[in-house]
Chain A
């Protein structure tokens, strides 16, 4: 017995030596740089926790994407909307109408030439002037570093043509160029954002917050108030944005009081979280929509079948039960708050009897009583394809599978990676394609419609309608906003009648707040979230 005790003691000592060595090796293996990083992060975390309790207005955000890069040209949404570090030439109001921002006015000299007049007295965070020369450099830099901006904006070049006047030339006419200057990746940044070799130092903008520190290893971005802001300074002194990709972790971090704000919470957690004393959940519709594109080369070539399918979608149930209220039934392509939305259209009607009638008119009847309609010996059976990157989509696909069965359709669901969708569509092995689409990536009344209804875009799905092409061409040439809105409304009417794409629900977002966060005002133009600078935190 005594012997065994001694053996055990000996083993314990040997083991302790091993673990101490291992632990020291782990710490010793850390490079000097990373030691500093950890220490800095440690201090940062401590400071954040302490300051939150002291009430010095630090907002802690749980961001849904990992933060590894803060280049304002490719990660503009993070830097402009979520961090409020940069600003754009043209802002929009709640109705998506253009408003002056860093540009006070703009006009088109001819179809390819636009002149923007800049707000005077604005300085970048590094103290340099935001003048015409700096703005022209910023625009040209964005076009060079992010080639997709050339495609969407059609800009050839920007040049300073006065102290506060920038002239932008487009390759081809773009009647909505000011709208595209609202794109987050077109934010105006100072030259100090990059070093002489073109490597990112840190984003230098003109916004109400400036970057204090970015720890690329831990993915935490710390921003502080810009006291020299050219408009009303922010209420908050500091904001930390931490990348938390797991939605359950975000929900629990909010519940445990580690973060004050987050978004895209798990659908099945929304009700429970909202019932907690220290958490508040708010749901809003964003400028995105759940769409159902029909394969018109197959079963959905007949307009009556498409209309019947749309009528058989119980959008309210999908909104309430599947999305847990994060999203409302879609009446039209655009949400009602968008200035160009035709609010007289209501495509959200659920009428199963009318749907059945339309199917019969189209020749699809269930003659053998198996619950599936047939025509010329062919069952109405198809595959609904969708992707996993938007968590609501696979759930909606399953709901539609059940709802369309009531109409006599057999739906097989196939969920895949977003990158595999195009390949599957090209093979033609699909009946409907469910997707999430941004309807106002730029606050444009024509851009989305052109991308989804022009013959060039609809021909691969077997639908061509020259009326769309005629109207789209008219809209794209209209340099007058009101004319464009009117053309847009005509296209919306035709689109909701023809239904090559049905609209299911507006893409809702669920925000989770700590009870201490006050004065939040929802910005419908944000892509995930954009907090207003007069947001406050109570003690």
Chain B
């Protein structure tokens, strides 16, 4: 098991370095001079004249004239030491800004995920054991409906109904449960359909397996066969899905956080894209990648613990 975990961690580190390299190169290839971007967003503004003298000063100040590979090498070297560069726009350390936003994103994301999990997994298990019943049909319609709604549209509709018209809930701000409700519901609605569907299909598949028939034929009651055999075999895909959702939390709420002015990683990424703050974009992308890798690592460990085939290399690998 220890060997399995170490292998997974090494893979994770390689992926993170790969992601950071790709994002660095792609961001660097964006059109336009970085020095002009820094000048217009940090020192001057869009509407004023840019002097070549200032462009040169900024180029030297931020060492923008070095070859890309050298720039990346120096970024990576510093990043390992905890220095993720300085934001072009805010002139503050990237890591410090990201660290300040992570708790907000996690609070919103994990709350939304938790509630979505509590709602969708029991319903998914129930409809799998009651296939083609009324609840199954209704849940299918609802998941298709919710799964088709774009989150930015839902966010605006929720604001319109519950904030602008009914004055029940605030649109922006922090500090009370009321502030969390609308962004949380918006995120949650996007998470429920996928979790519910995967739970249903996974449980349905398990219920049709030969060993379930064997379990019943050896005298187990339905409850015993479900608890002893079905649940444990339903779990790996559901846990994988949950891991993906948790991994998605750090980067998946960009629009929701922006609309609700929720001060998390998503809004930070959106603002940095708008203002072409490349070091901040790079920092956010790497943070999101780390979020994915860590959650996938946890998923692998949990599923490997449940299913020995995985850690022995016989199953998913």
A binds B: yes
B163→A256 contact, CB < 8 A: yes
Contacts of A4 in B (CB 8 A): 126, 129-130
B172→A253 contact, CB < 8 A: yes
Q: Say yes or no: is B48 at the interface (Cβ < 8 Å to chain A).
A: yes
Q: How many A-B residue pairs have CB under 8 A?
A: 213
Please give me the 10 A-B residue pairs with the lowest Cβ-Cβ distance, nearest first: A42-B175, A419-B32, A420-B31, A19-B114, A451-B49, A438-B47, A26-B110, A30-B103, A22-B114, A69-B90
Chain A stretch 251-281: residues in CB contact (< 8 A) with chain B? 252-253, 255-258
Chain A stretch 1-42: residues in CB contact (< 8 A) with chain B? 3-4, 6-8, 10-12, 15-16, 18-19, 22-23, 25-27, 29-31, 34, 37-39, 41-42
Q: Say yes or no: is A414 at the interface (Cβ < 8 Å to chain B).
A: no
Q: Say yes or no: is B65 at the interface (Cβ < 8 Å to chain A).
A: no
Contacts of B130 in A (CB 8 A): 4
B46→A389 contact, CB < 8 A: yes
The one of B44, B107, B156, B171 that contacts A253, using a Cβ cutoff of 8 Å = B171
B interface residues, Cβ below 8 angstroms from A = 30-34, 36-37, 39-40, 42-49, 51, 53-54, 57-58, 61, 87, 89-92, 97, 100-101, 103-104, 106-107, 109-111, 113-115, 117-118, 121-122, 125-126, 129-130, 156, 159-160, 163-164, 167, 170-176, 179, 221-223, 226-227, 258-261, 263, 267, 270-271, 274, 276
A42-73 near B? 1/0 per residue, CB < 8 Å: 11111000000000000000000010110100
Chain A stretch 192-218: residues in CB contact (< 8 A) with chain B? 216-218
A43→B47 contact, CB < 8 A: no
B175→A46 contact, CB < 8 A: yes
* Complex CA–CA separation, A419 to B221 (angstroms): 69
Choose the segment among A161-169, A238-246, A326-334, A508-516 that binds chain B (4+ C-beta atoms closer than 8 Å): A238-246
Contacts of A30 in B (CB 8 A): 103, 106-107
The one of A147, A217, A242, A387 that contacts B100, using a Cβ cutoff of 8 Å = A217
Q: Say yes or no: is A248 at the interface (Cβ < 8 Å to chain B).
A: yes
Q: Say yes or no: is A375 at the interface (Cβ < 8 Å to chain B).
A: no
Question: Assuming A248-B156, A249-B172, is B97 touching A68 (CB within 8 A)?
Answer: yes
Contacts of A418 in B (CB 8 A): 32, 40, 46
B118→A15 contact, CB < 8 A: yes
Contacts of A416 in B (CB 8 A): 31
Closest A residue to B101 using CB positions = A217
A42→B43 contact, CB < 8 A: no
Question: Assuming A248-B259, A436-B47, is B106 touching A258 (CB within 8 A)?
Answer: no
* Complex CA–CA separation, A275 to B74 (angstroms): 56
Closest A residue to B171 using CB positions = A253
Contacts of A245 in B (CB 8 A): 258, 261, 267, 270-271, 274
- Please give the number of chain A residues whose Cβ is less than 8 angstroms from any Cβ of chain B in the complex: 78
Closest A residue to B54 using CB positions = A148
A423→B172 contact, CB < 8 A: no
B32→A417 contact, CB < 8 A: yes
Q: How far is the CB of A240 from chain B (nearest CB, A)?
A: 10
* Complex CA–CA separation, A293 to B289 (angstroms): 43
Extra A-B contacts (16), CB below 8 Å, given A26-B106, A417-B32: A7-B125, A23-B110, A39-B175, A41-B173, A46-B175, A68-B271, A77-B45, A151-B53, A245-B271, A249-B258, A252-B159, A252-B164, A389-B46, A419-B276, A421-B32, A423-B33
* Complex CA–CA separation, A248 to B160 (angstroms): 11
Main secondary structure of the interface of A (DSSP, over half): helix
B118→A242 contact, CB < 8 A: no
Q: Say yes or no: is A452 at the interface (Cβ < 8 Å to chain B).
A: yes
Chain A stretch 282-300: residues in CB contact (< 8 A) with chain B? 288
Contacts of B106 in A (CB 8 A): 26, 29-30
Closest B residue to A13 using CB positions = B122
A244→B49 contact, CB < 8 A: no
Contacts of B173 in A (CB 8 A): 41, 45, 242, 258
Q: How far is the CB of A328 from chain B (nearest CB, A)?
A: 18
Q: Say yes or no: is A362 at the interface (Cβ < 8 Å to chain B).
A: no
**16 residue pairs bridging A and B, Cβ less than 8 Å apart:** A3-B223, A10-B227, A22-B117, A23-B110, A44-B175, A77-B45, A242-B261, A245-B270, A252-B160, A252-B164, A253-B171, A256-B170, A256-B171, A258-B173, A419-B33, A419-B276
The one of B39, B49, B91, B179 that contacts A69, using a Cβ cutoff of 8 Å = B91
* Complex CA–CA separation, A185 to B62 (angstroms): 21
Q: Say yes or no: is A390 at the interface (Cβ < 8 Å to chain B).
A: yes
B49→A452 contact, CB < 8 A: yes
Closest B residue to A251 using CB positions = B164
Q: Say yes or no: is A74 at the interface (Cβ < 8 Å to chain B).
A: yes
B223→A27 contact, CB < 8 A: no
Q: Say yes or no: is A441 at the interface (Cβ < 8 Å to chain B).
A: yes
B31→A46 contact, CB < 8 A: no
Q: Say yes or no: is A527 at the interface (Cβ < 8 Å to chain B).
A: yes
B271→A66 contact, CB < 8 A: yes
* Complex CA–CA separation, A46 to B156 (angstroms): 24
Contacts of B107 in A (CB 8 A): 26-27, 30
